[in-house]
Amino acid sequence: MLRALFPLWLCALLAAPASATPLPLPAHGPALRIQGSNTIGATLGPALVQGLLQEQGVLNIRREVTGISNEQRLVGQTAQGQQVIVDVAAHGSSTGFTALKNASADLAAASRPIKDSERQALQPLGDLKSPGAEQVIAIDGLAIILHPQNPVSQLTTEQLAQVFNGEITSWEALGGVGGPITLYARDDQSGTYDTFKELVLSRRAKPLLASAKRFESSEQLSDAVSLDPRAIGFIGLPYIRQAKPLAIADGASQPMLPGNSLIATEDYPLSRRLFFYLPPNAPSPWARALVKFAQSAKGQAIVAANGFIAQTVQAIRVAPSAQMPADYQRLSRQGKRLTVNFRFEEGSASLDNKARQDLGRVLDYLKAHDLLDRRVTLVGFGDAKDDPQRAALLSKLRAMAVRRELVKNAVVLRDVRGMGAQMPVAANDVDEGRIKNRRVEVWVD
């Protein structure tokens, strides 16, 4: 399937040795060095490494602390008694790219896309934005939580920034009751805090209010919010517990409650991608194998087990609502939506790297469920234009770009539609929002 979907050079790049053929081990030092994001490196990265080691038949795997904050080492041994070491350092996404540049890492973990300046600096290693190099391994999402009896049910991302910056200080200003707002946040070492800072505060150049109550534990934060009628906090999806989650809107989007399907499609405003970056020029065989493992069914199961959103494709029912265009309401009554959105490179009609991977996942799903022949409808969307007809045309052209790729693999489409700038999922006044709004949904009968 991969050879039909991807160019041969990409198949070769992703082709890690099978577990029956052990990966080569260096004479000295670690077999693999990973540096970068704390969000990935704290638990997910080590869990994926452990899964790969087990697949390779490594025995007696253990995690060791190194004495350096946010660093750990996984150690095991082969059946022949040879030691296998993998080092994981989690000091932030930018440190991963720096480590690639100075050759102190084989693989960079990042909770944001690589910057143009970083890409240029790493050009001797190959193009880090190429499909084989930039690998989306998981989707991350946050829930905004309140006391269960708080009557407020939704906020915008702009309101969130103003609340956590201290510009909005009372629940009455948000249409609620109870007086002063109490802020609850994770500590500075938390990947959850990094996510919130990136998606809400930093985009509006607002720092977190210094008086916010900080927590090292997700469970403790959630339970504290549940007991405080004035509280508001943010948390990873697995830790909502007894608290009340809020619906969040960005720009002109409809308010959305945090849910696995909306985070999987990246429609939910507080969702983001998590990446591995693999240097294309002479990549480490262990780094290449870990990338492949992370994208496998076993790897994605580990992603889900660690509280992140896996990229496994599912079909879900979408309840029609009055806010939807009439055509979309009919579609939602007749079919199911797949939990994937195809998105595009910035300023381009070309699919982005995640979309290239998702083509394979969607094709596998369609084959497994006998949906290849006139059972699929593609629906394109875009950002707002001065001319609505131009927006409608561009949205249909994006859907046609996905159609071309599916047709190559024997999929006969039922319909291809363009909805223009209707049903935005993000603000159109920033580049990130416009990119999210340029998307193609997949519907099946």
What is the full DSSP assignment across 163-177? HHHTS--BGGGGT--
Asked whether residue 440 carries a pLDDT value surpassing 50, the answer given is: yes
| pLDDT, position 13 | 45
In terms of DSSP bridges, do strands 107-110 and 271-277 run parallel, antiparallel, or are they unpaired?
antiparallel
pLDDT band at 111 (very low <50, low <70, confident <90, very high): confident
Using DSSP, state whether 231 is helix, strand or coil.
strand
Asked whether residue 210 carries a pLDDT value surpassing 90, the answer given is: yes
User: Going along 19-110, which residue ranges are E strands?
Assistant: 32-36, 59-65, 71-77, 83-89, 107-110
Asked whether residue 218 carries a pLDDT value surpassing 90, the answer given is: no
Rounded CA gap, 250 and 253, in Å?
A: 5
Asked whether residue 373 carries a pLDDT value surpassing 70, the answer given is: yes
pLDDT tens figures, 180-207: 999 999 988 777 888 899 889 998 999 9
On the 0-12 / 13-18 / 19+ scale of CB atoms within 10 A, 121 is: middle
DSSP conformation class of 130: S
Q: Letter for the amino acid at 29?
A: G
Asked whether residue 18 carries a pLDDT value surpassing 80, the answer given is: no
Rounded CA gap, 234 and 62, in Å?
A: 32
pLDDT tens figures, 118-141: 999 999 999 999 999 999 999 988
DSSP conformation class of 343: E
pLDDT band at 19 (very low <50, low <70, confident <90, very high): very low
Higher pLDDT, 93 or 348: 93
Asked whether residue 336 carries a pLDDT value surpassing 90, the answer given is: yes
Asked whether residue 433 carries a pLDDT value surpassing 90, the answer given is: no
Asked whether residue 9 carries a pLDDT value surpassing 70, the answer given is: no
Rounded CA gap, 415 and 412, in Å?
A: 9
Asked whether residue 6 carries a pLDDT value surpassing 60, the answer given is: no
Contact 251, 433 (CB under 8 A): yes
| pLDDT, position 44 | 95
Higher pLDDT, 68 or 163: 163
Long-range CB pairs of 58-66 (<8 Å, 24+ gap) are 58/84
pLDDT band at 14 (very low <50, low <70, confident <90, very high): very low
What's the average model confidence in pLDDT over 258-267? 94
Rounded CA gap, 35 and 99, in Å?
A: 7
Q: What percent of the chain has pLDDT over 90?
A: 78
Rounded CA gap, 201 and 163, in Å?
A: 10
Residue 159 is encoded by which pair of tokens? Answer: 């309101």
DSSP conformation class of 344: B
| pLDDT, position 7 | 42
Using DSSP, state whether 47 is helix, strand or coil.
helix
Contact 193, 186 (CB under 8 A): yes
On the 0-12 / 13-18 / 19+ scale of CB atoms within 10 A, 90 is: buried
Rounded CA gap, 299 and 361, in Å?
A: 14
The model's pTM is 0.86
On the 0-12 / 13-18 / 19+ scale of CB atoms within 10 A, 404 is: exposed
* Domains of the chain from N-terminus onward: 2-133+278-305 (3.40.190.10), 140-261 (3.40.190.10), 313-444 (3.30.1330.60)
pLDDT band at 415 (very low <50, low <70, confident <90, very high): very high
| pLDDT, position 346 | 82
Using DSSP, state whether 24 is helix, strand or coil.
coil
Least confident span in 38-47, 354-363, 401-410: 38-47
pLDDT, averaged across the chain? 92
Asked whether residue 5 carries a pLDDT value surpassing 60, the answer given is: no
Contact 162, 134 (CB under 8 A): no
* CA nearest neighbour of 369 among 310, 295, 314, 304: 314
